[in-house]
A and B are shown apart, each in its own frame.
Chain A
Amino acid sequence: MRTSCLVIISIVLVLAAGGAWSQGMSGFPATELRAVDTPSDGGGSIDLEWEGEGLQFVLIMRATSPGGEFETIGDAIASDGSYTDMRLDDQTDYYYRLAYPAGEDTLLGAVAGPAQSKTNWFRSYRKNALVLTALMFILVISYVTQARKGKRLFIRRISGLSAIDEAVGRATEMGRKILYIPGILSLSEIQTIASLSILQHVSKLTAVYGTDIEVPNKDPLVFSAARETVKQAYMEAGRPDQFKEEMVTYLTYDQFAYAASVTAKMVRERPATNFLIGSFFAESLILAETGQSIGAIQIAGTADIPQLPFFVTACDYTLLGEELYAASAYLSKEPVLLGSIKAQDVVKAIIMVTVGAGIVILAFGSNIVRDVLFTR
């Protein structure tokens, strides 16, 4: 397959070159070939660069000694001026030359090399990401330390959070249960972890009020973690006797089968309050509309942006994106966790200033801030 491809390509190239030749173009279109190790990569690759003009094809040839047999490994357009040769062995000397098929003959360029590929220790094009990561870590650690030392950090009230206590209270008054749905992704998803920490707060309340709570699960890992979380909350609230294993159940792994089971549960058991907090996909509205139709108070929270419109229209309160994470820190009322919200606010401000500055500088014709933010 590969060889036949090469044959076809070569034929095409010869024809193309013949055409170019007949139009009177001559001379070697690419000069000053350089071969260097590809920077910032895992090795096995060498970058070739040359000065070239025109749209002619040049063949790229490689050998392991300067006088050895050169084999064609690929082609490029002369004016592109670069080519990356991959799948090489590290610590081996390679020599390159360009060839230009002109009519019957093939013109050969000068030999470049030796070059060795090697595996590198840093992706230099990710410096900006490194700065951002370091900044985030440093700010979180420093604010958390400040908070530990007793410094008061102001975080505004997040609407929807006071609604959590109200909603638990209402279920207690009505003598009905609370349904807590921790989303449908596994523990690898950070929203699920945020949801579990909100679940801990909610189940502490239900333990104190003696309200019934049920947590149906889609993911088996979340199921076992949620059971531990609820158990822990009942212990901390001083009501370990009230905790029942049936409070946290496993349903099924399929998104829509899960939605079917949960909606059926809603209709049959008529919970007074539904929490839909975590990661949701298409089932969001199936759950939220059914909950709405049975008249339950619904509190939703997700960072899955496509589902936000549905929660906003069908639930009483919705924690939007970042609010979900902030809520889980806020509810614990631990100053340490509040410190990390502060840190994310500072980074947010830095981003806004950077972007703002970038816009102004761009208006004066410089692309520098955009270049600094460029990454891959």
Chain B
Amino acid sequence: MRRTIPLILTFCVGMYPIFAFFVPHRVVTNINQNLDTYLVIVAAFALPLGVVNLVMSNINKIKKKDKGWFYSVVLIAGLCLMAFYGIMGGDQGFHAHFQWMFENAVSPLQATMFSLLAFYVASAAYRAFRARNVEATVLLIAAIVVMLGRIPIGDMITGGRLTPISEWLMTKPNAAAQRGIIIGAALGAASMQIRVILGIEQTYLGSGKD
């Protein structure tokens, strides 16, 4: 019963958007509309689940004076400061301090973390040179052609000959392969989604046979 009720609910709630997809009637779309906005609110309620876990584990580290406890202090301080001004809000939308901290701390941290990819892309590409099988070589050649075809310097070196080839690679073999993966992945997802709706797949419900 403790498992059956959730499974029945998954089925009913899961079938509803499918039904609404085919039925334009107002009665149907109105309920669907409500579900959309409601679930956003449910998801918002989930946030404290994670926050509490993070805060508790860091407070424990501080209490036990674990190695690196100082960093836990930094983490909690950052969290409190940001959340405080975030919840306070301002007269018009966000609090000014909230905006300022976002622009000068969160934003550069995000951007720099993202920019590390430049280095990682290079080292991953470099490693591909060591690969000794045919597939990796094909990958590497396609990568070089497209890269050179996309940058002005590549055009200068090759006299513009690579641009059409790289455009061809993108629009023909690449688009074909992408389409194959899209169709395959959509089928895989659909069959998994049907398993969930029908209650065949229920790992996500977690523990307890009860």
Touching chains A and B, CB distance < 8 Å: yes
Q: Is the CB of B184 within 8 A of A223?
A: no
The 8 closest A-B pairs by CB, nearest first: A228-B206, A325-B188, A220-B50, A322-B188, A321-B185, A232-B207, A250-B50, A256-B113
The verdict on B189 contacting chain A, using a C-beta distance below 8 Å, is yes
Add 17 more A-B contacts to A257-B113, A321-B181 (CB < 8 A). A42-B29, A119-B27, A140-B191, A141-B198, A188-B43, A193-B201, A200-B203, A219-B46, A224-B49, A231-B206, A282-B114, A285-B124, A292-B124, A309-B139, A322-B181, A340-B194, A344-B187
Residues on A with C-beta less than 8 A from B203 are: 193, 196-197, 200, 229, 232
Q: Is the CB of A324 within 8 A of B188?
A: yes
* 9 pairs of residues in contact across A and B, judged by CB atoms under 8 Å: A193-B201, A217-B50, A225-B204, A252-B54, A254-B106, A282-B114, A292-B124, A328-B192, A340-B194
Q: Is the CB of A303 within 8 A of B53?
A: no
Q: Is the CB of B196 within 8 A of A229?
A: no
The verdict on B137 contacting chain A, using a C-beta distance below 8 Å, is no
Q: Is the CB of A256 within 8 A of B114?
A: yes
In the complex, which of the residues B47, B109, B196, B205 contacts A220, with contact meaning CB atoms closer than 8 Å?
B47
SS class of chain B's interface: helix, strand, loop or mixed?
helix
Residues on B with C-beta less than 8 A from A326 are: 188
**Which one of B18-26, B87-95, B151-159, B164-172 contacts A?**
B18-26
Q: Is the CB of B191 within 8 A of A305?
A: no
Point out residues on A near B: beta carbons under 8 Å: 40-43, 119-123, 126, 129-130, 133, 136-137, 140-141, 144, 186-188, 190-191, 193-194, 196-197, 200, 217, 219-221, 223-225, 227-229, 231-232, 235, 246, 249-254, 256-257, 259-260, 282, 285-286, 288-290, 292-293, 303, 305, 308-310, 312-314, 320-326, 328-329, 336-337, 340-341, 343-344, 347-348, 351
In the complex, which of the residues B18, B57, B206 contacts A232, with contact meaning CB atoms closer than 8 Å?
B206
Residues on B with C-beta less than 8 A from A191 are: 189
SS class of chain A's interface: helix, strand, loop or mixed?
helix
Give complex CA distance A130, B128 in Å. Answer: 45
Q: Is the CB of A305 within 8 A of B178?
A: yes
Instruction: Give the residue among B29, B183, B206 with the most A Cβ atoms within 10 A.
Output: B206
